[in-house]
C-alpha cells in the first residue's frame, strides 16, 4: 500500500494518528471529521495515498464510492438529517487542505445555511459547447 510519511490521512489509515472510525475495510476507511461543518460530517478515504481524484485508479475510486454509498444513508439518519452533500475538494483553489484524496459526507437539514452561496451564472452563446469540445479532446489524450 502506498503511503506518504508526512500525510495526516496516511497516518490515520495506518493507525498512527487517532480518529473516530465509523467504517473500515482493507482499502477504505471512514471517520468523523475533526472540524465538522454539520453534525455527523464524515470523511471517506482510500487507505492508499493519492493526492487527487483524477490520480486515483478506477478500482480504488469504485471501492471508495461503494463505501460512500453504503454510509451516506446511515450518516444522515444518525443525525436526523433531511439530506446530505458528498464533496471532494481537489487542489488548493478548490479548498483542498489535506492532500490525500477524501470525500466529505455532509449531513444537511432544511435551512441550515451550510452552503448558502452557489454562484450560478449563464454562459454566453456558444461557450458551453466550446468548453465541452475541449473536454472531449482532452479525454482522447
* Contact by Cβ (8 Å): 99, 51: yes
* Contact by Cβ (8 Å): 87, 38: no
Quick one: what does residue 47 bind among ligand 5GP, Zn ion, none, with the CB cut-off 5 to 8 Å set by partner type? none
- The distance of Cα 81 from the centroid of its chain, to the nearest Å, equals 19
Q: Which of residues 81-100 bind ligand 5GP (CB under 6 A)?
A: 89, 95-98
Give the range of 27-35, 69-77, 109-117, 121-129 binding ligand 5GP by CB under 6 A.
Answer: 27-35
Quick one: what does residue 84 bind among ligand 5GP, Zn ion, none, with the CB cut-off 5 to 8 Å set by partner type? none
Give the range of 18-26, 48-56, 67-75, 128-136 binding Zn ion by CB under 5 A.
Answer: 48-56
Contact with Zn ion (CB under 5 A) among 41, 47, 49, 108:
49
Our finding on whether 4 is near Zn ion (CB under 5 A) is: yes
- Pick from 101, 116, 112: which is nearest to 76 by CA? 112
Q: Which sequence positions are flagged as catalytic? A: 102
Strand partners, 21: 31
Q: Which of residues 11-40 bind Zn ion (CB under 5 A)?
A: none
Number of C-beta neighbours around residue 31 at 10 A? 20
Please provide the size of the chain in residues.
141
Amino acid at each position: 500500500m502506498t503511503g506518504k510519511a508526512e500525510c495526516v490521512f496516511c497516518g490515520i489509515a495506518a493507525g498512527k494518528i487517532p480518529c473516530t472510525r465509523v467504517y473500515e475495510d482493507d482499502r477504505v476507511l471512514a471517520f468523523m471529521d475533526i472540524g465538522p461543518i454539520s453534525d455527523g460530517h464524515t470523511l471517506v478515504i482510500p487507505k492508499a495515498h493519492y493526492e487527487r481524484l483524477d490520480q486515483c485508479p478506477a478500482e480504488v475510486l469504485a471501492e471508495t464510492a461503494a463505501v460512500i454509498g453504503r454510509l451516506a444513508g446511515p450518516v444522515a439518519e444518525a443525525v436526523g438529517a433531511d439530506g446530505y452533500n458528498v464533496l471532494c475538494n481537489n487542489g488548493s483553489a478548490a479548498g483542498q487542505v489535506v492532500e490525500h484524496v477524501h470525500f466529505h459526507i455532509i449531513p444537511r437539514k432544511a435551512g441550515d445555511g451550510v452552503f448558502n452561496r452557489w454562484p450560478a451564472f449563464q454562459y454566453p452563446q456558444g461557450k458551453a459547447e466550446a468548453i465541452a469540445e475541449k473536454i472531449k479532446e482532452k479525454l482522447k489524450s
